[in-house]
A and B are shown apart, each in its own frame.
Chain A
Amino acid sequence: MSTPRYETYMSTDTIPLPYCPGCGHTTLVKALDQALVRLQPDPRKVVIVTDIGCIGLADRNFVTNAFHGLHGRSITYACGLKLARPELTVIALKGDGACGIGGTHLLNVARRNIGITLIVANNFNYGMTGGQHSVTTPTGGVTSTTPWGNVERPMDLCATTAAAGAAWVYRATTFDQDLPEVLARAISQPGFAMVDVWEQCQAYYAQRNKLRKSDLFGLLESCGFRLGLVADDPRPEYSARYHAAFEAGKGVLRSKPKIEPSFRAAVARQSGILIAGSAGQKIRSTATLLAEAGIACDLYATQKDDYPITVRTGHSVAEIILSPQRIDYTGIDQPDYLVALSQDGVKRTRASIASLPATSTVYTDAALDLPATAARVLRLPLAEAAQGIGKLSIGFVALGALLAESGLYPVEALAATIRAFQSDTIADASCKALAAGAELVRSTT
């Protein structure tokens, strides 16, 4: 079976092109049709993506797929389609107005090299909404919003996308005889390709500024913008690179082991534990292991963390709840246990420490200044005990003391969980710290 030859990709039924007499869009749309005829793609594998602007009316005239979206966002839909189905030919048509509101998409699609083709119908103003100035309006250009001439500089779309890393960039006009060929070359690029097509808006810009064909070329010269091929920097397309990076990197993925309850806890009611220290003391990961070991004792557990946006500076406070029953309310209004590991942590939890009842216990490094509290306070040389083991092990020294003294659950459960989750060398140090903490309690009581 031979594949049919398409003589046109435009609809042969009665929908006429909607443009004003003399509008460059008509020329451009027909040139796009001729470009497709040269390339002969299966229309089911072509998507014309448009957004709001006069050029956005063109998609309905094609027999290809059509995706018509929000003003300035056609690049994003085109990228989504292309990323989902890299085999598709995805062509985005947008105006110069859409290049302004969607400027970031223009820069980023060029940088990423997602293999869509962008054709900009650049007529220096917003034709659909009454001829306001756009990011490409020449300096001095008269529009609805620049009645005394535009005082802004026009954006060089080609130089801008080229600087952002576009693989293939070309500037053309609707007067170019080879426009279909240029568009076909753009569509054939495996990576991102853009054609900036300069044209006349007969409704507004060309009328107000007496922009005839010869003036258009004069304008190019006066702006100092390059005509023809502006960038040609072929490199692998995004999807190919993405999937190659995944294939090369997936060996490093590893999953955490599951927790099988194999210990028994003595704790009979929901208990709230605050671990208050400094960023850099491994507070969060230490707290997670405390909770995970609780789960290994068939307890329910929750954890919330409070820390500034920076790392290794300021406070780090972890809130752990352990309970033999399902935990509903995850707030800790009054902690049963508070572990103070640094002055940053004390500062952050000062109000909480000060309002603790006599039934609560504070395990604090002996060197810290605590506010007055009704709670039982155990001052222990936690930092000193950690010194011989490793600076980062202070948290486990404290948890060794907490578990040995409170009897929440067996210290062995935490040791076993540490062995299951940490690498051998780190686990050795953590378990040593745990034992040292338990020993501190035994020697002081």
Chain B
Amino acid sequence: MGYEFIEGNEAIARGACAAGCDFFAGYPITPASSILHYMMELTPQNGGLAIQAEDEIASMGFCLGAAMAGRKAMTATSGPGMSLYSENIGLAIMGETPLVIVNVQRQGPATGSATKGAEGDIQFTRWGTSGGLPVIALSPATVEEAYLLTYVAFNLAERYRTPVFILTSKDVGVTKERVDLEAVELPTRVERKRFAPDDDYRPHGFSRSEEVPAVADFGGDRIARYTTSTHDQSAFLTTDPKLIQAMIDHYQAKITAAAEDLALVKHDMQEGADTLCISYGITSRSTAVAVRQARAAGRKVSSLVLQTLWPVPERAILAAMDGVRRVVVPEMNMGQYLLEIERLAPAGVEVVGVCKMDTTLVSPAEILAKGGLR
């Protein structure tokens, strides 16, 4: 018992360690650098190794090698570093590598406002590498959630053999808050499924498309194979269109088939609400204040907060939209998740974005005004 006053980045590092992270590689970048600092100290205490790489490409390369040798690996960066991660993200998807990638978003594009916040990488995360295959991304709104969701991200990475993104921002990462991490209820730790000695071993073996293959760690009892090039279930190169499509379907299906399992959302619904706010990350906290103020003024408003951004928690969003006339989507970008909500909104439902990317938080007053909640 007892509180600590820590920033989101420290909570991410500690959530990773609680999940068993024993490998970290990263490169300094504001506002994610303190994750690198914490991990340099914490990882060896967790029985692992942390290294500052020569660049973001090497950070990802080190993590991919270590993850396939059986380590629970994590890397952390901000927008410009995500650009350099891009090609290796594709490799992580293709090689079915469990890996946690943290993006502490800052205002961009390019170098942008290095020390200021934004949520401009939402669609970039979804479409961040060639090939367009789905990914998993979680977005914490508080320091406590940064701890919990990083832990959960490791579990999902292990369960689905895929990179999982923590999509946070400067305004969670380097804001300190009161927390009691010992009081946070963590789910059971998940370890990747490994081959038993008598299994028929194929590095990407599955019988149903959505099945997650067991893995053989490099350096274990099996000969392991891994490749960036188009391959079959045995990780041998192939040019057979049928085998190629089967692998693509598999990468896609293992995420989409699990979409409902992956959907983490928080509801604050009001009976008879005509307006629904859908928000995530730091902006969900401004939204909570706006919703309280609107209700105090007699408006009927519901709120849906998304902790899972990718894959889109479609069923929860559709259910929450049932019966409302307007959906308000506040974001610290020019309307990125808005596109998903517009795609899902039934005919006749008005979708309104409350968008800006001027480095400041979307305020409750702005949500009330632009969201038509005054």
Contacts and interface: CB of A to CB of B under 8 A. Distances in A.
A435 B158 CA distance: 54
26 contacts: A44-B219, A47-B218, A60-B225, A63-B223, A65-B224, A67-B224, A70-B87, A77-B62, A79-B62, A80-B65, A80-B73, A81-B218, A82-B65, A84-B23, A85-B69, A88-B69, A239-B49, A246-B44, A258-B2, A260-B1, A295-B3, A302-B178, A303-B175, A328-B285, A331-B360, A331-B363
A262 to B, nearest CB: 11
A250 interface: yes
A178 B100 CA distance: 45
Interface stretch (B226-234, B246-254, B344-352): B226-234
Contacts of A47: 218-219, 224
A256 interface: yes
A305 B221 CA distance: 51
A105 B54 contact: yes
Nearest to A77: B65
A64 interface: yes
Contacts of B82: none
Contacts of A303: 5, 175-176
A295 B221 CA distance: 52
A84 B64 CA distance: 10
A291 B63 contact: no
A70 B85 CA distance: 12
B177 to A, nearest CB: 5
Interface string A60-97: 10011111111001011111111111011000000000
Interface of B: 1-5, 23, 25, 41, 44-45, 49, 51, 53-55, 57-58, 60-71, 73, 87-88, 91, 115, 171, 174-178, 218-229, 235-237, 282, 285-286, 288-289, 360-361, 363-365
Given A68-B229, A83-B23, A330 B361 contact: yes
A49 B95 CA distance: 14
A217 to B, nearest CB: 35
A148 interface: no
Nearest to B63: A80
A259 interface: yes
Contact of A78 (B65, B71, B237, B288): B65
A167 B268 CA distance: 62
A43 interface: yes
A393 to B, nearest CB: 21
A83 B51 contact: yes
A406 interface: no
Contacts of A69: 61, 64, 91, 226-228
A329 B3 contact: no
A81 B228 contact: no
Contact of A288 (B5, B41, B285): B5
Nearest to B219: A85
B65 A84 contact: yes
A372 interface: no
Contacts of B4: 256, 258-259
Contacts of B224: 47, 65-67
A304 interface: yes
A67 B286 contact: no
What are the 7 tightest A-B residue pairs by CB atom distance, in nearest-first order?
Answer: A80-B65, A76-B61, A258-B2, A84-B69, A84-B66, A80-B62, A77-B65
Contact of B227 (A68, A78, A259): A68
Given A66-B224, A329-B289, 20 more contacts: A64-B223, A67-B227, A68-B228, A70-B88, A80-B23, A80-B73, A81-B65, A81-B66, A81-B69, A85-B218, A88-B69, A105-B61, A242-B44, A246-B44, A259-B4, A259-B5, A302-B178, A303-B5, A304-B171, A304-B176
A19 interface: no
A146 interface: no
A333 B61 contact: no
Contact of B177 (A261, A302, A333): A302
A301 interface: yes
A211 B219 CA distance: 41
Contact of B55 (A60, A75, A104, A292): A104
Contacts of A67: 65, 68, 218, 224-227
Contacts of A82: 65
Q: Which of B44, B62, B178, B285 has the most CB of A within 10 A?
A: B178
Contacts of B115: 306, 309
Nearest to B180: A258
A85 B224 CA distance: 14
A52 B227 CA distance: 10
A124 B202 CA distance: 37
B65 A327 contact: no
Nearest to B114: A309
A53 B363 CA distance: 52
Nearest to B61: A76
Interface string A275-319: 000000000000010011001000111111110010000000000
A87 B219 CA distance: 9
A144 interface: no
B69 A73 contact: no
A301 B178 contact: yes
Interface in A232-254: 239, 242-243, 246, 250, 253
Q: Which of B64, B71, B91 has the most CB of A within 10 A?
A: B64
Contacts of A150: none
B44 A330 contact: no
